[in-house]
């Protein structure tokens, strides 16, 4: 034994011999929660993950992550109504993260740099027919092609894009952006047949030797309402007006245009009328603004552009440059009731924007395929009652937006893939939601949202130039960095920092952390100080 | 605005320990996977101990700032007891303990010895709790200050003698319940009008550097340690370290409570050079004192059986006075 100083009998030892983990009654654990943005995205994008890449300035990785779910980011970055932002937890701190703006930025970067995807060989030996080249059809074709199937799209019109081209005005979606993204999808080796209307889906499937069909014909027929009208009344529907904008010459409207309806299409029609030279564009809607199906942003932009609104009004008669409207009032159930009070309004043209129906003549003879209220009925996997025939987008019962359609395309592709392989597709279990009250928002620096610049008003009412403009690189980066990474670790090192017992080990970039249960006393500081709520305390057995 | 706050990375700002987007040299010392862990695992501090956390924050930063050449001198108290039960030690740096009241004098002696040996590269940190610093060691500390000895002295203030069973110290705030200021009678808890502010006493010595900090402001605390270690002479750092045992708070709330002390204005965070306040940490999310008091059992008598609005208002006035005196309110831009 070594000689020791006076009164010393034991060797010096480290406190590491004292395993304080034995004190613990609860242990911390790293968890993953579903961020509200991801949960709300109709296309099922992993928004948080692509923002994570964008935050470090790695826009290409961000774009590739985005493209796993959505083949049209530059389009969606413009026309999506971004339910992700409505769900964003940051709303409760200052403003939602500008997810849509960052998506637009990434989409534009991809176009600018010419980023593309490699398509795998079509090795499955299976062939799929996609009918319709709108967002649902393109998305399904894209995902099916990436899953190794041979895909043909048949489009009745002479240009691809569906409602993105024939329904959404250029000032919301410049056509060169649309073309670029469609071309990139087709470049994966997808055959596109234009002007190829399908009248009988089963015949087309049989004749073409297709193993499965995805129907995505959209809802392209403007709904008409009976309005008593004189001989000189000019009445057309919004779908015809907006679709006509893609033809040779713009449709002829008068100086005074009344648009009948309260949805997004009504706003698009009224704003288009303004741009075509209407001095007066009036939206006539039977309920109030807060009950309007149109998105608030669109209504605001329409009002900014001088579109007038006649709330609580229905059109009773139209003739000779004048319309008669009846004032309505809402009953207790919120349903509009006529009041018998009338007024007259100047209007050369009445544009009907009262909803749209699908042309379902192609499925009339399909056995076991059910149609109800003008929509094709589908099971959870988007398959119709007829095996091998799937449907999605505006023609099935769902919210009718381009993003929902993109989501249908992806979902249908997965189920079609499983169908073709003789299996069934089971989506993985979802994490529990990353609720706001799990966050420790103290750690997020104050950072107000960036605002996307808008075209000046004078040019908005006279041209079809894009209204909502993109963010520049530094602003997009700023915006991406406002993400709070709800429910998922972003390696801020707080857990590692605040542990009074040094019981957390840093494993290196991308690898996260490990908890040393030999020393963790279970105080819970790491969990309490985790900004993003990516940790839980769980009781020891 | 101090250096730590100038970094603007919005996902985490400069407020979290680390940030994958920052260059490693700009991250906190605590986020370094190879930090020195001056106080290592296996120490016997209670769950969620603020003092253990504060001591590691301070000494790791001091070691970083001086290339690892730090000798620590420790007063008697929790920090000494929980870290060195014979024959174990949790310290991973040269560490001395003598008596309860003489740590500043021993630290002065170590500094003198180093000077005699010409070892200007080795730096001395003295440390203790509020009992050892504010009460028992004050004479030695004042001497260390007035001689301007080359020591950084750090007080980990948990506002009472926690090691011996939560007795009142000169740093115990008014109305707080301790073993010697029971929550009984008309004016329960520690009396108003007693106690002292050691940071202000230190400033009165006109020593080169005095600062306050809390365990809720890691980046701020580290910046202050680095600043202090970049200077010579007597320096004093006063760190608020909540004590779950003595304050009656859940162990996971240690950092939150320190943050509320700061955000309520009850604990002003500032920096003073040569006796003048030169910088303050502005309150970012101001809260009424009630929000700080209510979670702590040592203030439970202010809320049960009835809410003592008169007493809470008096404490609020103390917070408001700090906010006015140290100009803690965030400037409102015109």
Please state the φ and ψ torsions of residue A219, each to the nearest 5 degrees: -135, 85
Contacts of B56 in chain A (CB under 8 A): 500, 502
Distance CA B91, CA B275 (A): 33
Average model confidence (pLDDT) for chain A?
A: 94
pLDDT at B5 over 50: no
Taking residues B76-98, report their average pLDDT: 95
Nearest partner of B127 among B112, B144, B115, B113, judged by Cα? B144
Distance CA A39, CA B271 (A): 46
Instruction: Give domain B23-325's CATH architecture.
Output: 3-Layer(aba) Sandwich (3.40)
Strand A322-330 relative to strand A336-346: parallel, antiparallel, unpaired? antiparallel
Taking only the tens place, the pLDDT of each residue in B179-222 is 999 999 888 999 999 999 999 999 999 999 999 999 999 999 99
Please state the φ and ψ torsions of residue B209, each to the nearest 5 degrees: -145, 130
Q: Is A472 left (phi over 0), alpha (psi -120 to 50) or beta?
A: beta
Nearest partner of B160 among B195, B186, B187, B192, judged by Cα? B195
Strand B152-157 relative to strand B235-240: parallel, antiparallel, unpaired? parallel
Are B53 and B39 in contact by the 8 Å Cβ rule? The answer is no
Of 1.10.10.10, 3.30.70.20, 1.20.120.430, 3.20.10.10, the CATH number of A16-32+489-539 is: 3.30.70.20
The whole-number pLDDT of residue B186 equals 87
* Cβ–Cβ contact A27 with B under 8 A: no
Partners of B276 in beta bridges: B273
CA torsion angle A35 A39 A40 A45 (round to 10)? 90
Q: Which residue in chain B has the smallest CA separation from A536?
A: B252
* Cβ–Cβ contact B50 with A under 8 A: yes
DSSP B205: T
Q: Which residue in chain A has the smallest CA separation from B90?
A: A15
Q: Which residues contact A244 (CB under 8 A, 6 or more apart)?
A: A250, A251
Taking only the tens place, the pLDDT of each residue in A118-173 is 888 878 999 999 999 999 999 999 999 999 999 999 999 999 999 999 999 999 99
pLDDT at B3 over 60: no
Strand A127-131 relative to strand A371-372: parallel, antiparallel, unpaired? unpaired
Q: Which of residues 217-276 of B touch A (CB under 8 A)?
A: 218, 244, 250-256, 259
- ipTM of the complex model: 0.94
Distance CA A214, CA A489 (A): 39
Go through chain A and tell me how many residues it has: 541
Distance CA A105, CA A533 (A): 28
Query: Domain boundaries in chain A?
Result: 16-32+489-539, 225-354
Taking only the tens place, the pLDDT of each residue in A84-97 is 999 999 999 999 99
Give the distance from residue A473's alpha carbon to the nearest chain B alpha carbon, in angstroms: 15
Two structure tokens written together for A104: 């637009």
The whole-number pLDDT of residue A449 equals 85
Tally of CB atoms within 10 A around A262: 24
Distance CA A271, CA B320 (A): 55
Q: Do B41 and A516 touch (CB under 8 A)?
A: yes
Q: Do B9 and A445 touch (CB under 8 A)?
A: yes
This prediction's pTM: 0.92
Are A80 and A113 in contact by the 8 Å Cβ rule? The answer is no
Report the CATH superfamily, name and number, of domain A225-354. FAD/NAD(P)-binding domain (3.50.50.60)
What's the Rg (C-alpha) of chain A? Answer: 29
Sign (positive or negative) of CA dihedral A228, A234, A240, A241:
negative
* pLDDT band with cut points at 50, 70 and 90 for residue B1: very low
* Cβ–Cβ contact A55 with B under 8 A: yes
């Amino acid at each position: 034994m070594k000689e020791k100083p006076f009164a010393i009998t034991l060797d010096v030892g480290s406190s590491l011999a004292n395993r304080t983990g034995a004190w613990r009654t609860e242990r911390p654990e790293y968890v993953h929660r579903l961020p509200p943005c991801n949960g709300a995205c109709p296309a099922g994008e992993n928004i948080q993950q692509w923002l994570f890449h964008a935050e470090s300035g790695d826009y290409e990785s961000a774009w590739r992550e985005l493209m796993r779910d959505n083949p049209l980011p530059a389009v969606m970055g413009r026309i999506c109504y971004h339910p992700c932002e409505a769900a964003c937890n940051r709303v409760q701190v200052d403003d939602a993260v500008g997810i849509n703006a960052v998506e637009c930025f990434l989409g534009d970067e991809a176009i600018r740099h010419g980023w593309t995807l490699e398509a795998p060989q079509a090795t499955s030996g299976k062939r799929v027919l996609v009918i319709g080249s709108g967002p649902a059809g393109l998305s399904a074709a894209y995902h099916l092609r990436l899953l190794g199937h041979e895909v043909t799209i048949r489009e009745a019109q002479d240009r691809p894009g569906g409602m993105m081209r024939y329904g959404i005005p250029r000032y919301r979606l410049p056509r060169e952006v649309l073309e670029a993204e469609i071309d990139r999808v087709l470049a994966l080796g997808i055959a596109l047949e234009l002007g190829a209307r399908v009248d009988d889906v089963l015949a087309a499937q049989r004749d073409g030797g297709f193993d499965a069909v995805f129907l995505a014909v959209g809802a392209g027929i403007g709904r008409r309402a009976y309005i008593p009208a004189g001989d000189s009344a000019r009445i057309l529907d919004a779908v015809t007006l907006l679709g006509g904008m893609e033809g040779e010459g713009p449709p002829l409207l008068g100086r005074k245009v009344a648009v009948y309806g309260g949805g997004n299409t009504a706003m698009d029609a009224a704003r288009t009328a303004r741009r075509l030279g209407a001095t007066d564009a009036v939206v006539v809607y039977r309920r109030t603004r807060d009950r309007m199906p149109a998105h608030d942003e669109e209504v605001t932009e329409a009002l900014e552009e001088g579109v007038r609104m006649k709330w609580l009004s229905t059109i009773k008669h139209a003739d000779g440059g004048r319309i008669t409207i009846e004032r309505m009032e809402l009953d207790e159930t919120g349903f509009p009731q006529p009041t018998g009070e009338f007024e007259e309004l100047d209007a050369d043209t009445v544009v009907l924007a009262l909803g749209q129906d699908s042309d379902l003549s192609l499925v009339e003879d399909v056995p076991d395929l059910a149609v109800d209220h003008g929509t094709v009925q589908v099971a959870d996997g988007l398959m119709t009652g007829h095996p091998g025939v799937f449907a999605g987008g505006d023609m099935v019962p769902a919210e009718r937006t381009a993003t929902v359609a993109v989501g249908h395309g992806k979902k249908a592709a997965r189920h079609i893939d499983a169908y073709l392989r003789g299996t069934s597709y089971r989506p993985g279990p979802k994490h529990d939601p990353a609720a706001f009250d799990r966050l420790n928002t103290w750690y997020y620096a104050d950072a107000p949202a960036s605002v996307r610049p808008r075209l000046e008003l004078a040019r908005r009412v006279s041209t079809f130039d894009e209204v909502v403009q993109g963010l520049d690189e530094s602003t997009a980066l700023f915006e991406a960095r406002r993400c709070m990474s709800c429910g998922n670790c972003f390696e801020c090192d707080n857990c590692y920092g605040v542990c009074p017992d040094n019981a957390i080990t840093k494993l290196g970039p991308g690898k996260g952390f490990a908890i040393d249960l030999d020393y963790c006393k279970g105080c819970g500081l790491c969990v309490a100080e985790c900004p993003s709520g990516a940790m839980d305390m769980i009781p020891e057995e | 605005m101090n250096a730590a706050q100038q970094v603007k990375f919005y996902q985490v700002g400069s407020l979290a320990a680390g940030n994958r987007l920052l260059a490693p040299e700009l991250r906190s010392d605590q986020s370094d996977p190879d930090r020195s862990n001056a106080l290592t695992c296996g120490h016997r501090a209670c769950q969620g101990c603020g003092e253990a956390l504060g001591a590691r924050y301070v000494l790791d930063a001091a070691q970083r700032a001086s290339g690892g050449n730090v000798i620590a001198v420790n007063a008697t108290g929790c920090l000494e007891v929980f870290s060195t039960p014979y024959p174990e030690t949790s310290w991973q740096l040269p560490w001395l303990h003598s008596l309860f009241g003489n740590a500043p004098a021993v630290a002065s002696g170590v500094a003198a010895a180093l000077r005699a040996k010409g070892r200007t590269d080795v730096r001395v940190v003295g440390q203790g709790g509020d009992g050892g610093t504010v009460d028992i060691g004050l004479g030695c500390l004042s001497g260390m200050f007035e001689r301007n000895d080359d020591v950084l002295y750090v007080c980990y203030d948990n506002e009472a003698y926690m090691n011996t069973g939560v007795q009142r110290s000169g740093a115990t705030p008014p109305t707080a319940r301790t073993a010697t200021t029971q929550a009984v009678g008309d004016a329960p808890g520690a009396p108003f009008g007693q106690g002292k502010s050691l940071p202000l006493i230190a400033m009165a010595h006109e020593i080169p550097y005095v600062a306050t900090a809390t365990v809720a402001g890691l980046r701020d605390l580290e910046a202050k340690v680095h600043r202090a270690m970049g200077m010579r002479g007597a320096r004093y750092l006063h760190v608020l370290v909540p004590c779950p045992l003595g304050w009656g708070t859940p162990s996971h709330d240690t950092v939150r409570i320190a943050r509320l002390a700061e955000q309520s204005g009850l604990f002003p965070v500032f920096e003073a050079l040569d006796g003048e306040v030169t910088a303050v940490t502005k309150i970012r999310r101001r809260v009424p004192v009630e929000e700080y008091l209510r979670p702590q059992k040592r203030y439970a008598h202010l809320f049960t059986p009835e809410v003592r609005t008169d007493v809470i208002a008096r404490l609020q006035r103390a917070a408001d006075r700090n906010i006015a005196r140290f100009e803690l309110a965030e400037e409102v831009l015109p």
